[in-house]
A and B are shown apart, each in its own frame.
Chain A
Amino acid sequence: MSGRLERFRLARWVRRAQRGDARAFSSLFSALHPVVYGYLAARVRVKADAEDLTADTLHRFTRQLSRYDAARGGVRAWVMTIARNVLIDHVRKARRTDVAPLSDAEHLLADGRFSPDGREEDPRLAEVREALAEYPPTTREMFALRYGDGLSIAEVAVVLDISEAAAKQRFSRTIRALKDKLDNPSKEEVAHAPS
């Protein structure tokens, strides 16, 4: 759901919610809750944690509602930026108490979205995941946000605080390289073979 009209509608609901319109806020909540909960639940895995972090994210979002500036990006990108910061805070806090769900925030953001259920993975997907693993964490996070969480490239750029042009370029370059690697695995193996 990332059409022009949808982006505009979310911004409208924010403006109305800023004036205390509960109906507009409910529409906004209905549109954003699944995205935020899905993002967090797919990464922290513990349902109660996902619910707490979702509540924390949407409380922060609601408190900051009056400061929303449409010129700085869409509503969905804004709330996802808050969710990402909440997740990073959660991991940092968990590390201090030695109960971190994964080793660190960077790993969680880059790879926490992969299959959590332990089922045997389709070899065609495993091949892509292994190829992606060779890229830096930021690139892996970009792909998780785009293909796992369904954000647009422009939204990914806002969440990761990079320019849209840079995000487009990195997606395009990585997809080209992935295609090349997956279509010609033997070429890669020869190229990487120890001499």
Chain B
Amino acid sequence: MRLRERLAALYPAPPPADPEVRDALERALVDTLPPEQPSPWRRRFLVGGLAGLAFAGACAVPAEYSMDFGHRLAFSVDDTDFDPRALSEHIRGQFDGIEEMRISASKSITQHDDQPETMQFDIVLDVVGDVDEAALEASLLEHFSALQSMDIDVDALDETVRGTLGGMVSHRALGWEVDRGGVEEAKARILADFAARGLPPPSHIEVSIEERDGPGRHEREVRVEVEADEMPR
């Protein structure tokens, strides 16, 4: 047994929580939340548009300005046929100033009691380059109907982005049915996918499955993260 395995075995698993106590606590905490507010992003979008007009007037006499390195957008899509690769292709086709782009996506399956499963993609999109945040977002909303009802979080990437490599997670990897015993198989399939296309192996592959229970629901999340210099298309 290696030292790290011995260290991990040294600490026994804690006892499980009582589901009734946990659910009661969750309900009590939810009751303390403030009244729901609409997403600030819609407001930010309008403000962004107005600021853009004002800036156009000021551009004639450029002064000091700060340079953002890009933007990170995060959203969830309920459409199981949604292809994250289409986002990348659309952005590259519409915007010239893209230096790097990266998409991370995870698929989660939620099972509520006595209800059919629902599936959801959580997508994080990093776009590095001289691209207007509002224009990018508006273009995505206009082109992808699945996003129109989504709450989209937008953050500036205002620091050096290290390790943001071109490409995206293969949709095939997300489409696989990965069960508890299939994590290693999924990794092997990703590696085989790269090898079959003559690409160097990814620098990082993470496949994990997490199951969570809450009041009246069971969530099973399959997460696939792949980083590589070049992704299969």
Interface residues of A (CB under 8 A from B): 1, 3-6, 8-9, 12, 15-22, 25-27, 29-31, 33-34, 37-39, 41-42, 47, 51, 54-55, 58-59, 62-63, 113-117, 122, 124-125, 128-129, 132, 143-144, 147-149, 175, 178-179, 182
Contacts and interface: CB of A to CB of B under 8 A. Distances in A.
Interface of B: 1, 3-4, 6-15, 17-18, 21-22, 25-26, 28-30, 32-40, 72, 74, 104, 106, 122, 124, 151, 153, 206, 208, 210, 212-214, 219, 223, 225
Contact of B106 (A5, A29, A51, A113): A5
A128 B214 contact: no
A20 B22 CA distance: 20
- Secondary structure at the A interface, as helix, strand, loop or mixed, is helix
Contact of B9 (A12, A38, A125): A125
A189 to B, nearest CB: 19
B225 A3 contact: yes
Given A5-B106, A58-B25, A30 B214 contact: yes
- Secondary structure at the B interface, as helix, strand, loop or mixed, is mixed
Contacts of A51: 17-18, 21
A36 to B, nearest CB: 9
Most central of B17, B32, B212 by chain A CB within 10 Å: B17
A135 B106 CA distance: 40
A25 B15 contact: no
A32 to B, nearest CB: 10
18 contacts: A5-B122, A12-B74, A21-B36, A25-B29, A26-B214, A30-B212, A30-B213, A38-B13, A38-B14, A54-B17, A63-B32, A115-B10, A125-B10, A128-B6, A129-B10, A147-B8, A147-B10, A182-B3
Contacts, number: 129
Contact of A33 (B11, B26, B39, B104): B26
B11 A147 contact: yes
A12 B219 CA distance: 18
A15 to B, nearest CB: 6
A59 B30 CA distance: 10
A175 B3 CA distance: 8
Contacts of B39: 19
B231 to A, nearest CB: 16
A143 B11 CA distance: 10
A41 B17 contact: yes
